[in-house]
Amino acid sequence: MSLEDQLYPLLDSYNALPRWAQSALGTVYRQLPQGWRYGARYGEFKRIATAGENWSIEEIENYQLKQLRAVLHHAANHCPFYQRSFIRAGFRPENVHSPKDLKVCPFLEKRDLQEHLTDMVSTELPASQRLYMTTGGSTGVPVGFYLQKGVSRPKEQACLEAMWRRAGYFDGARLAVIRGHVTSSQAQGRITSYDATRNWLLLSSYHLKPERLSEYLNALEKFKPDFLHAYPSAALQLAEYLEKFGHSWRLPLRGLLCGSERLTVPQKRLLERVFHCRAYRWYGHSERVVLAGEGAQSELFYFFPQYGFVEFGPPDGDGLREVIGTSFHNLVMPLIRYRTGDYVRLAEPENISDLEFPWPAALDIAGREQEFLVSATGRHISLTAFNMHDAVFDDLYAVQFCQEQPGVAEFRYIAGPQFHSSRLARIEEGIRRKLGDDFQITFREVNDVEKTPGGKHRWLVSKLPDAGTTAG
């Protein structure tokens, strides 16, 4: 097991230490070998992530079939939920001789994770190997799940680094990060903190306002990062302020790393014009089922065949297809034919040789829009930052923010059968920590939440003119 996974439960205690103590401990931790920090399997996944970019189609098919059969047999033998669902569907893993044989295997819905979490966990692996996580995803439907310690996180790290290297990333790169980190819950609080464990400068994505632009620029120019790692919404706000107030970006960057939200091509061009470097996009999710990123020379999103098995649902009226994935390697809680609720527009080249990699590729990732709550003092708070990654939203079937005036919002929720109103205090504490002291929030239990015309849950229903996607 990796040190990172062993120390993860102590993260809150580490963050509560004085800044000098965090810096000292973090610096010592950063000097440890990668294999210690990320675990013994990090090296294995790093080799696979890199070598896979040169695999032939036959090598890809062989690897994927081997991993598919392994996860299917494990689920059928050790996960009660899958044992029951496979029997009901008449599905037998031993009959899978190609990915086409998966068509008999039932789909997995987010509601299944909400209602059958305990039965989805493997009975073969001890509880000590489980790492509990939650996500609200892109749709406002909170789900909890387990990752496998020493496997899921080092695999993610290795694959992210392999993707980022296409944009010039290198080991030891200094990153400035604007991705929902809470540096202060006060509207006028500090905007930075330092993560010594990775040598990252963390900047608040909650305090980006024109009058504080100089503070951000000064902090960035003092730190001199190699890359800016940001929510697209945060990077776009920073770029728009720079252009609006006549500032030019003076700091040389090797690249801009943009994930977790949709970034359109016109927005990407704006960022590249302002920051004078490539804006690199990728797609993934907390459940770690599939992962896709732009190529080194191409702006298509290529799905890693080493990471998981991806399928796509039938096209809707706009030609968009749902991403359906089967996880590899996480035997604590496999996710098989998992309907992510995310949609893509597939690339359709005349010849597979036209692609940079012979992998499934998408022109665009739909959903995950850049939506904001607006505070009383004009701060824009990205809804992406409300992926709590802990148990705050457990036992809620759906959540949604509704806003009609700046600084005031209603949090609507659909309670599951295990939810008790005593949990609201903890939910309120977590939300207020993210929103800050210039925001009023009320709570209301509902039987349903407002959906998109296509029937998807929405994180935000807003009547404010500046709550949607910026720089579009």
| pLDDT by 10s per residue, the chain, length 472 | 678 878 878 887 888 888 888 889 989 988 888 888 888 899 999 999 999 999 999 999 999 999 999 999 999 999 999 999 999 999 999 999 999 999 999 999 999 999 999 999 999 999 999 999 987 655 567 789 999 999 999 999 999 999 999 999 999 999 999 987 777 778 788 899 999 999 999 998 888 888 888 899 999 999 999 999 998 888 988 998 888 888 889 899 999 999 888 888 888 999 999 999 999 999 998 899 999 999 999 999 999 999 999 999 999 877 889 999 999 999 999 999 999 988 899 998 877 888 999 999 999 987 555 577 888 988 888 776 665 555 677 778 778 889 999 999 999 988 877 788 888 888 888 888 888 888 899 999 988 878 666 555 677 888 887 665 444 3
Please give the pLDDT value at position 463. Answer: 86
320, two tokens = 């968009």
176, two tokens = 């400035």
Q: Where are the beta strands (DSSP E) in 241-351?
A: 255-258, 279-283, 292-294, 301-303, 308-312, 321-327, 338-346
Residue with tokens 């990060």: 177
318-327: long-range contacts (C-beta < 8 A, 24 or more apart)? 319/345, 320/344, 320/345, 320/366, 321/345, 321/346, 323/290, 324/107, 325/289, 325/290, 326/68, 326/71, 326/102, 326/289, 327/71, 327/287, 327/288, 327/289
Burial category of 265 from C-beta neighbours within 10 Å (exposed 0-12, middle 13-18, buried 19 and up): exposed
| Greatest pairwise CA separation for the chain in angstroms | 65
Closest CA relative to residue 262, chosen from 437, 13, 468, 52 = 468
Rounded to an integer, what distance in angstroms lies between the CA atom of residue 321 and that of residue 285?
Answer: 17
Please give the pLDDT value at position 471. Answer: 41
Please give the pLDDT value at position 369. Answer: 57
Question: For residues 402 and 412, is the Cβ–Cβ distance under 8 A?
Answer: yes
Rounded to an integer, what distance in angstroms lies between the CA atom of residue 37 and that of residue 2?
Answer: 6
Burial category of 215 from C-beta neighbours within 10 Å (exposed 0-12, middle 13-18, buried 19 and up): middle
pTM score, whole prediction = 0.81
Please give the pLDDT value at position 8. Answer: 75
CATH of 372-462, one of 3.30.465.10, 3.30.300.30, 3.30.70.2190, 3.30.530.20: 3.30.300.30
Amino acid at 451: K
Question: For residues 183 and 237, is the Cβ–Cβ distance under 8 A?
Answer: no
Question: For residues 369 and 344, is the Cβ–Cβ distance under 8 A?
Answer: no
Q: Where along the chain do its domains lie?
A: 372-462
Please give the pLDDT value at position 322. Answer: 93
Strands 255-258, 279-283: pairing kind: parallel
137, two tokens = 């995803």
